[in-house]
Structures are given as structure tokens and as C-alpha cells.
A and B are shown apart, each in its own frame.
Chain A
Amino acid sequence: MNGAPQSLRDELVRAIPNLRAFAMSLCGNSARADDLAQETLMKAWDKLATFQVGTNLKAWLFTILRNIYFSEQRKRRREVEDADGQLSARLAVHPEQLGHMDACDFLDALQQLPIDQREALILVGAEGFSYEDVAAISGCAVGTIKSRVNRARQRLTDILGLANASDYGPDRMAEAVIAHGPLVRIK
């Protein structure tokens, strides 16, 4: 970080809560999320002099974090032969009911999304990055990110039991309202 201006350092410190939240969303484990965020800080600190001032520091930091995460994932997959089996067990859907959700349940539901969809949805929908920034962060095309976000929304709706309005027959809709209260207005 030799010669990097103080303002950059301050910005880096301010990004820590977001780095932790993003890491948590990716790996779903707070201890590992903190490790990821710390590794990101160390690497960023080291390379901050090479950061192009005027470009998006937060996007730069997020790129470092997700690259560390995905390279660890690749390493783990090589190490654990049974990774696929474990993944499918973890992805087994346990139905979440609308009206009984809090942030934990929602994050739990997020963890059931495929990782690429989860990453795209968080970056666009929660962090508010533009599709273009997310495409650069994830190293793929803008159209790919849009597709992932759409799929993530659809999948999340299914997991959370928020069906399309057209899927609600009068009886199912009445059941939903009685069981959980009219949290979502359904046309």
C-alpha cells in the first residue's frame, strides 16, 4: 500500500462491513466469511498502489473477494471427492413459509441458490451495483448477469413459496392468507 492516499485507506475501511456481508452471502458461514474478508483486505492493502484512482474501489475489492472465494472453492472441490453429494444434500429444499421469515430465513433461502445466481443477485439487488460493474466483477457478459439475476429471483420465489399470482387458485390463496396473513397483495 505504499504511497496510497489516506482517502483510499479510509474508503477501504468503510467497505469492511460490506465485504463481510458479501462474503457471508457467498459462503453462508460467518467464520469463513471473516477469513475471506481479512484475506481480501490483506491483498487489497498490498496492491492498493496499483489501484486506478477514479475507478470503483468497492467493485475492485469485491472482485478480489470473489476471486479468493472461487479459487478456494475450486481447491476444495479437488480435495473433496464427494463435494457434489454434499452440495445436493445441502440444497434439499425445506419449505419456508411467507410470514414466518426473518433475515435468517431469507439468508437461508439465499444459500439454496446456485452460487453464480446468488452472487449476481446480491451484487445487483442488495449492493446496488450496475449490471456492467457486476459483469466486470464476475468476469462475464452483461447478458449472463441479467440471466442469472432473473433466474435467482424466480428460484427464490419458488423456495420461499411465493408463487406467481396466476398459480394461486382461490382456495390456495385463501389458505395462504389464513395461514400467514396478507403480507403480499395478490391480484
Chain B
Amino acid sequence: MTKVRGTPKPGEDPPSVESGKRDSDHGGKDTDMQISQGNGSDDAGPVPALGQDIQKHLGRKLKASYDELVRQPVPDKFRQLLEELERQEKKQ
């Protein structure tokens, strides 16, 4: 944990994130679930490489399961909350 930036404190405003403009010595997206090694700064010891097929399977499974969550219908209470927020704003 040598390169850890300051973790934002709870309750503080989160920093804006400039997409793709962060300074980095390891650029590039990794949405294909490729293994990249040698950057371990969390724990000691290398992580063994996973077989390509397993990686692809995991990646697809993760994406498919997550997308299933994303596709869930949004409960009505969210619409109500947004309406309430709009209402409060108009009052001001």
C-alpha cells in the first residue's frame, strides 16, 4: 500500500473524476478480463495467471449477472423521491 492516495473521508464531497485523464503509469482499459500481473501493491505475492478460457468464462458470467441486476425494474419509490426533490427545489 505504498501508492495509496488519500481516501476521501465519508461525508466529504467526492472528487470529480476526469475520465481517462488520470495520471497513470499503467494506462488502458481492461474490460476483457485479461490478467495483468506484477502490479500487486495490496498484498504480498504474485497472483497466478488464469487460463484464457476460464478468464473469458468468468468475464462473461460477471457481465451477464451484473447486467441482469441492471435490467431489474426500478421501484416506484425512486420516481417518488425524484418528484419530491423537484418539488422541494421549486419551493426554494
Asked if A78 is an interface residue, CB under 8 A from chain B, the answer is no
- Cβ A157 vs Cβ B10 within 8 A: no
CB of A49, distance to nearest CB on chain B (Å): 11
Would you list which residues of chain B between 1 and 36 have a CB under 8 Å from chain A?
A: 1-8, 10-22, 24-31, 33, 35-36
B contacts with A, residue count (CB < 8 A): 69
A36 → chain B closest CB, angstroms: 12
- The interface residues of chain A lying within 8 Å CB-to-CB of B37 are 150
Q: Measured between C-beta atoms, what is the minimum distance from B86 to chain A in Å?
A: 9
Q: How far is the CB of B9 from chain A (nearest CB, A)?
A: 8
A–B complex contacts, Cβ < 8 Å, 27 sampled: A17-B74, A20-B69, A41-B81, A50-B13, A68-B10, A70-B10, A71-B11, A107-B65, A110-B62, A126-B62, A127-B66, A133-B20, A133-B22, A136-B17, A138-B7, A141-B5, A142-B3, A143-B39, A146-B36, A147-B43, A151-B43, A151-B47, A153-B35, A153-B58, A154-B50, A157-B50, A157-B58
Q: Which residues of A contact B (CB under 8 A)?
A: 1-2, 13, 16-18, 20-21, 24-25, 34, 37-38, 41-42, 45, 47, 50-52, 54-56, 59-60, 63-64, 67-68, 70-71, 74, 101, 103, 106-107, 110, 116, 121-122, 124-128, 130-133, 135-144, 146-151, 153-154, 156-157, 160, 162, 164-165, 183-187
